[in-house]
Amino acid sequence: MRAPGTFEVMGVDPKTKARRGRLWTLHGAINTPVFMPVGTQATVKTMMPAELESVGAEIILGNTYHLNIRPGVDVIEKCGGLHRFMGWNRPILTDSGGFQVFSLSGLRKIKPDGVEFSSHVDGAKLFLGPREAMDIQRRLGSDIMMAFDECTHYPCTREYACQAVARTLSWAALCAELHPRNGQLVFGIVQGGEFADLRAQCARELTAMGFDGYAVGGVSVGEPESVMLDAVRNGVLELPVEKPRYLMGVGVMRQMIEAVALGVDMFDCVMPTRYARHGTAITNEKRFAVKNGEYKEDTRPVEEGCECYCCRNFTRAYIRHLLNVHEVLGIRLLTIHNLHRTLGLMNEIRAALDQGVFADFKEEFLEKNKEDR
C-alpha cells in the first residue's frame, strides 16, 4: 500500500502522450486510464455495489450538491461516511457541486465567496462556495475531493471566461488552503472555455497551488468535438506530468480514446446508465435502441462475444420485452452491459499501453467506430 496521492506513471506511449498509471488512495489503488461510473445520489442507478465490482469498476463518483440536499451531510456522517452509507469499499471521487450550481443559471447569484442559489427540490435559499464544498466533502469522506470552480457553458464570451477563470483561481486557492491533509486528495479544475491562453494560464496557476491532481472542466457542454479536444489539449499542456489528469463529464468512447492520447488519465460520465434507462445499448460496433421492433424476436445477446452477465444469459428479445413493459430488470441488465462495455474499453486501452501498441489500437478503433458512442 502506497501513500494516498502517490501517482505512478508506469509507461508512456512512444507515439502519443498516453500514459499507463496507478493512483493510490485511502481505499486502494486505481489503475489508469480509468472510467468512473457516476453515482450522483450515493448510488450508480439500479446497480448494487457487488455488481459494480463485477463489471470492473475501481472508483465511482458522488456529488456534493445533491448529497448535501438529500439526505444531507449530517445523515451521511452519522452513518459513518459515504463509503459505509452506500456499502462501497473502493475509492470515491466527489464533484464539488460547481457544475450543478452553475447549471441553475436562473436561480443563482454569484458572490465573491461563492454562489447563492435556490434548491431545485423545494426552492429553499442555499449557499455553496469553496469553504462549504470542502467541508461537505471532508465530512463525506471521499477519497478525491474537487475544488469549487465556475463552469462556463458554450458559447461563452472571452470577457466572461476571464471572469470565470479569475473566480475559479481565487476559489481554488482557498480550497488548497483548506486541504484536510488526512489522506483525502484534492484536485484543482482547469477552466477557460474555448480560449487556449486562458486554459494555459489557469493550468499554470493551479499547478503552482500544489494540488494532488488536476481536472479539465467546462467541456462537453454543447461545444463541437473539435473545440472540446482543443480545450483538453490546451488545458493538459501546462499540467505537471507527475500528477493525474481528469477530464470531467466525457464518456463517448471515441472522445475518451482521443483524450487518452492527449495525456488524460481519468473520465466520468452518466452516459452508460442514462442510455440504459432510455433502452439504448452501447456496443463495440454501434449504439442501438434495443426497444425497437426489429429486435422483438432477436435471439442474439445484446452484443455478440460480450461476457457480461446480461449477454451471457439473455437475448435482445427478452431485454426488449422487459423495457417495453416497464420492468426495471430490463434497465438493470442493460446498465450492466453498458458499464461492462465502457469499462472494458479502459481495460483494452490499458492492455494496449502495456504492450506498447496504443497508437495502433487508437487508429484501428477510430477507423471502425465513427459513430458517437
CB 47 within 8 A of CB 86: no
Q: Please provide residue 175's backbone torsions phi and psi, each rounded to the nearest 5 degrees.
A: -60, -40
Convert 76-104 to b/e letters by CB count within 10 Å (16 or more is b).
bbeeeebbebbebebbbbbbbbbbbbbee
CA pair distance 21, 172, nearest whole angstrom:
25
DSSP designation for 45: T
Cite the beta strand spans of the chain per DSSP E: 7-12, 19-25, 28-32, 34-37, 60-63, 92-95, 108-111, 114-118, 125-128, 144-146, 185-190, 213-216, 245-247, 266-269, 280-282, 287-289
Q: For cell 470492473, what's the residue?
A: 56
Catalytic residue among 143, 149, 265, 268: 268
Bridge-based pairing of strands 108-111 and 185-190 is: unpaired
Please list, in sequence order, all residues whose beta carbon lies within 8 angstroms of the beta carbon of residue 109, skipping any fewer than 6 positions away.
115, 116, 117
Bridge-based pairing of strands 19-25 and 7-12 is: antiparallel
Please list, in sequence order, all residues whose beta carbon lies within 8 angstroms of the beta carbon of residue 350, skipping any fewer than 6 positions away.
20, 31, 32, 33
CB 137 within 8 A of CB 147: no
Catalytic (active site) residue 268: yes
Q: Please provide residue 282's backbone torsions phi and psi, each rounded to the nearest 5 degrees.
A: -100, 125
CA pair distance 118, 124, nearest whole angstrom:
5
Catalytic (active site) residue 95: yes
Catalytic residue among 13, 95, 143, 230: 95
Q: Known catalytic residues?
A: 95, 268
